[in-house]
Amino acid sequence: MLSVSVSGNYLEKNGKPFFYLADTCWSAFTNISDTEWVYYLEKRRAQGFNVVQINILPQWDASPTLLEHDPFERIDGVWDYSRMKEEYFEHAASMCAMAKAYGFELALVVLWCNYVPDTWASRFYKMGIMPKDAIAAYIDKVNETFSCFDPVYVISGDTDFNTPLCESYYIEAFDRLKELAPDCLFTTHIKGRYTYIPERLADRLDLLFYQSGHNHNDLAMPYKLALEMREKYPGKPIINSEPCYEEMGFSGGRSGRWHRADIVRAAWESVLSGASAGIAYGAAGIYSWHIAGTMFGSSIGEGFAAPKPWQDALNFEGAWDYGFLAYWIGLYQLYDLVPDPGFLAREYEGVRVAKCARGHVLYVPYNVPLKTTLALKGVRATILDLERRYVSVMEIPDETDTLPIHPFHRDVVVLLEKA
């Protein structure tokens, strides 16, 4: 079972530090066959992932599927939320049991925003908004089905909390589920480039998620949002639960896709800027479980370009980079990272710095000398080349406050500690 550390900076599992490394597989319960599920779990386990993020209800922008896993009966093409289908929840429970058997924790979204009125996505959803009088029975079914797996309950999905009515849905769902499953951890998944959480929810959450998202207009979102969340909601672990997905098209229908270098940068910037409890990875084609030859709803929502089939997406190389990030955090026991921009004597665009018990960790996207506010003589620098994962170790012998250039050509992570 997961818990929050005494410091509030990170999570623990059975009393030991736990770096949350999640893969985003929102549409697992509706789109993945049992044999595909085993293959997927084996692959992600080999890459070092320890959490799977899943939407309990059908993902509104999932790819078409030949499977027929419906959580509710349909009437004239619209969900009848008063008539839940037992077989859907039984099948979802069996998938959770398989994931737990492979060593994964579960982060389960309770109400994605399309099911709730007055959210940005509710106007796009043709299957109908969940009536408020259906929340109680649905939450009871969620608890009955999933609480035995000790999941992290993500009470909202991609939500912007636009009106009191919208907020009331989530507060009612939270209150009921928290009463039924008091030992589970709770959080929210909020809209990209957004940090607002209603006070009645924020004060009672165990950890905080944000998403830097897929919009190419502001590349500073991974670190800006982490710093803002840390300031607004102190004392809770923070995780970027949806950075830009690998090979995802830019939002808004803009030409271009996020590539490996983009997602690696987003991950390290997040972790060193206050979101140090973990990171989530996403691959276009996995979250929606896309099948070759089928259509993708590029005209709805944020207008993402069609993804590659899931078989290709499962082999994107960025997943290994995220696994290596988690491995590196564990190798050096860097669970207590706290952002420390004051370490640098002036602003270096794109450089992120965090301090910890061992010393300082820097993400450096280019190769220039870095003037600091500390004396560096006798400091050992372990420099990790993020492109090839080469490592260079050097000790700084002279009286200086400047970290010299390193032997690599692209972005690096530097661990500075007393020799």
H or E element, residue 290: none
Helices of type H across 102-205: 135-146, 164-180, 199-202
Give the pLDDT confidence score for residue 199 in this predicted structure. Answer: 95
Q: What is the mean pLDDT of residues 177-183?
A: 98
Q: What is the mean pLDDT of residues 54-65?
A: 94
Query: What residues form DSSP beta bridges with 279?
Result: 21, 240
When pLDDT is cut at 50, 70 and 90, the band that residue 302 belongs to is low
Give dist(CA 102, CA 38) in Å, integer. Answer: 9
Give the pLDDT confidence score for residue 393 in this predicted structure. Answer: 97
C-alpha distances (whole Å) from 51 to each of 24, 60, 121, 267, 311 are 9, 22, 26, 16, 20
Contacts of 84 (CB under 8 A, 6+ apart): 71, 72, 137, 138, 141
Strands 412-418 and 379-385: antiparallel
Give the pLDDT confidence score for residue 294 in this predicted structure. Answer: 82
H or E element, residue 364: strand 359-364
Mean pLDDT across the chain: 95
pLDDT at 296 over 90: no
Contacts of 217 (CB under 8 A, 6+ apart): none
Give dist(CA 236, CA 243) in Å, integer. Answer: 19
pLDDT at 297 over 90: no
pTM for this model (two decimals): 0.96
pLDDT at 295 over 90: no
234-272 pLDDT, tens digit per residue, is 999 999 999 999 999 998 767 799 999 999 999 999 999
User: What domains can you pick out in the chain, each with its CATH number?
Assistant: 2-331 (3.20.20.80), 340-418 (2.60.40)
72-124 pLDDT, tens digit per residue, is 999 998 999 999 999 999 999 999 999 999 999 999 999 999 999 999 999 88
| Stronger pLDDT, 285 or 293, i.e. the higher one | 285
- Tokens representing 81? 């939320």
When pLDDT is cut at 50, 70 and 90, the band that residue 395 belongs to is very high
**DSSP three-state, residue 405:** coil
Q: What is the DSSP letter of 253?
A: G
Give dist(CA 240, CA 255) in Å, integer. Answer: 24
